[in-house]
Amino acid sequence: MPNPTVVGFSGNFTRPSKTRGFVEQVVKDIARQHGLSASTYDVEDLGPSLGQAKWARDLDEQARAILDKVINADVLVAGSPTYKGSYTGLFKHFFDLIDPAALRGKPVVLLATGGGERHALIVEHQLRPLFGFFEALALSTAVYATDKDFADGVLRSEPILKRVAQAVGEVGLVLANRSGASVAAE
């Protein structure tokens, strides 16, 4: 796998954002532990063309470049703040623009943030089905963090950090299996 990449995409549309910081932290952990190049984006990075786009071709150059990076990433970290029990509408709209086959088999780490524990199932009831539709490989360990898990916008909760480490480890297993399969195919 030449120049493998991990790309993070966050559904936040304001900055500063705990969710973007969380996604970025996980992306950096994956990159550091597994030797991948890394980048993180959010809805704000897409600019105004996202809201008007009916198809990927309707995105401006900057938004299209981000969409291409998400599609071409070797590993995707997807996270969203929780609004009314689900991901943000613009997060969903972004993924609506992606061809249904484009993420097939892609390892995806699922993350979400919310104001309290009652939204914790967003990762299982909202994000996992979304990426299941794409036939992506949503990793077993998804991570949900609440406001109390952050201090000054940085994830500090030891139990949540342990879950993040578990998810990062799962990425390593997937990458090792793919590398082994590539070698066996040669």
Domains within the chain, CATH numbers bracketed: 5-185 (3.40.50.360)
Taking the C-alpha atoms of residue 16 and residue 73, their distance in angstroms, rounded to an integer, is 25
Give the per-residue pLDDT at 31: 97
pLDDT of res. 182: 52
pLDDT digits (tens, 9 = 90+) for 14-27: 899 999 999 999 99
What pLDDT score does 181 carry? 57
pLDDT at 184: 44
% of the chain at pLDDT higher than 70: 95
Classify the phi-psi angles of 152: left when phi > 0, otherwise alpha if psi is within -120 to 50, otherwise beta.
left
Strands (E), the chain: 5-10, 37-42, 75-81, 107-114, 137-138, 143-146, 150-151, 154-155
Supply the pLDDT for residue 1: 45
Q: Which of 142, 145, 9 is nearest to 75 (CA)?
A: 9
Give the integer Cα–Cα distance in Å for 119 and 69. 29
pLDDT, tens digit, 9 for 90 and up, residues 27-80: 999 999 999 999 999 999 999 999 999 999 999 999 999 999 999 999 999 999
Given this model, what pLDDT does residue 27 score?
Answer: 98
